Amino acid sequence: MSKYSPIVLVVDEIFRALDDPGRRLLLDRLFQEDGQSLAELCEYLPEMTRFGVMNHLRVLEEASLVTTRKVGRRKLHYLNPVPVRLVHDRWISKFTEPAINSLTAMKAHLEGTLPVETPVPSHIYQTYIRCEPEAAWEAIVDGNVTVKYFYGQRVESTWEVGAPIRYVDLTGAVVADGTIVAIDAPNRVEMTFHPRWDPGLEAEGPARTAWIVGRVGDLTTVTVEYYELPTDSAQAADFMAGIPYIVAGMKTLLETGSPIDGD
């Protein structure tokens, strides 16, 4: 049994994965355009064999810096920034600013409640949490919990298909709203999400997103997926910065019982 805590071992894997310019280049290219195939990623390392690129991607997957999704015969690769958030929390935030939050996820294969063809995500964010799946689900749908990690916002919905969903701040102002598209409690909820906190983001209209709870061994996975979200949109830039913060906050709350900033 290792003498090191799980968080230390995870951070060690992240540092090892980043300790190669080729792997860092692959992450940079996925940051620019998420959801690329092996063939597309091989073009960025022309001096390397296909096997060499596959090995780099394997290391990045083992460190959870990259997640994948099979679409037909293609395997698409997505940048997962949540582990980088863990590094920030452990090695940077305590020196520069109050730490943030954490979240992740895993894809769940559900029956009966999803469309015949599950949409291909444009962005995926994922984390592993030491908690029961029911606790993770409650953290997604219970407004008394979301206020502790979701930028102080309370979620409100009856959690039925077609029902409205709102995120409100401490003053009661609506920060974002949308509609429940599909739900299979306690595994997956898909919704539209229309940000209201910024006129530029609001003008782009509602985005489509899903929160998914799964299980891997004794760990619970939380995954946030976005669909048809253009990489060059203002929403993509804003969500890519904010969702890792939110997911990391959920992870900290569920594993410690307290928000990461101690509030």
119 in the same domain as 65: no
Last-in-domain residue among 48, 79, 110: 79
Average pLDDT, integer, range 255-262: 77
Q: For residue 112, what pLDDT is reported?
A: 39
Q: Once rounded to an integer, what is the mean pLDDT over residues 231-252?
A: 90
Residue 87's pLDDT band, with cuts at 50, 70 and 90, is low
- Give the domain CATH number at 217: 3.30.530.20
Same domain, 74 and 101: no
- pLDDT at residue 19 in the model: 84
Instruction: Name the band, by pLDDT with cuts 50, 70 and 90, for residue 154.
Output: very high
For residue 1, pLDDT over 60 is answered with no
Is 16 domain-assigned? yes
Q: Does position 116 have pLDDT exceeding 80, yes or no?
A: no
Question: In the predicted model, is pLDDT for residue 152 greater than 90?
Answer: yes
User: Is 202 among the domain residues?
Assistant: yes
DSSP for 166-184, please give it: EEE-TTS-EEEEEEEEEEE
The CA distance from 97 to 77, in Å, is 31
Give 106 or 182, the one with higher predicted confidence: 182
Q: Could you report the per-residue pLDDT of 181-195, keeping only the tens digit for each?
A: 999 999 999 999 999
CA atoms within 13 A on the CB side of 37: 8
- Percent pLDDT > 70 in the chain is 81
**Burial of 26 from C-beta contacts in 10 A (0-12 / 13-18 / 19+):** buried
- Extended beta strands in the chain, E state: 66-71, 74-79, 121-129, 154-157, 164-168, 174-184, 188-195, 207-216, 219-227
- The whole-number average pLDDT for the span 148-171 is 95
Cα-based torsion angle of the residue sequence 263, 261, 134, 156 in order, rounded to the nearest 10 degrees: 60
With respect to residue 221, please indicate whether it lies within any of the assigned structural domains.
yes
- Residue 101 is predicted with a pLDDT of 34
Confidence of residue 91 (pLDDT cuts 50, 70, 90): low
Contact indicator for 168, 174 with CB cutoff of 8 Å: yes
Same-domain pairing of 158 and 248: yes
pLDDT classification of 17: cutoffs 50, 70, 90 = confident
Taking residues 153-176, report their average pLDDT: 96
Residue where a domain stops, chosen among 79, 112, 144? 79
Give the per-residue pLDDT at 85.
Answer: 65
Compute and round to an integer the Cα radius of gyration of the chain: 18
Where helices occur in 43-170 by DSSP H, the ranges are: 50-62, 82-87, 93-96, 133-141, 143-146
Q: Are residues 72 and 101 in the same domain?
A: no
**Both 171 and 261 in a single domain?**
yes
* CA pair distance 101, 263, nearest whole angstrom: 12
Region 170-181 average pLDDT:
95
| 70 and 130 share one domain | no
Mean pLDDT of 110-135: 73
Whether residue 12 is predicted with pLDDT greater than 80 in this model: the reply is no
In a domain, 87, yes or no: no
Interval 150-155 mean pLDDT:
95
Close Cβ partners of 76 (under 8 Å, ≥ 6 residues apart)? 35, 36, 37, 68, 69, 70, 120
Q: Give the model's pLDDT for residue 11.
A: 67
pLDDT band at 232 (very low <50, low <70, confident <90, very high): confident
What's the CATH code of the domain at 63? 1.10.10.10
Whether residue 167 has pLDDT greater than 80: yes
Residue 105 and residue 58 share a domain: no
Please indicate, yes or no, whether residues 120 and 237 belong to a single structural domain of this protein.
Answer: yes
Domain annotation covers residue 40:
yes
Please compute the mean of the pLDDT values over residues 197-218 and round it to a whole number.
93
Task: Give the tokens for residue 112.
Answer: 């009966």
Q: How many domains does the chain have?
A: 2
**Would you say residue 34 has pLDDT above 80?**
yes
Q: What's the number of CA atoms in the CB half-sphere (13 Å) around residue 77? A: 26
Is 33 within a domain? yes
Domain that holds residue 258: 97-263
Q: Which of 47, 79, 111 is the last residue in one of the domains?
A: 79
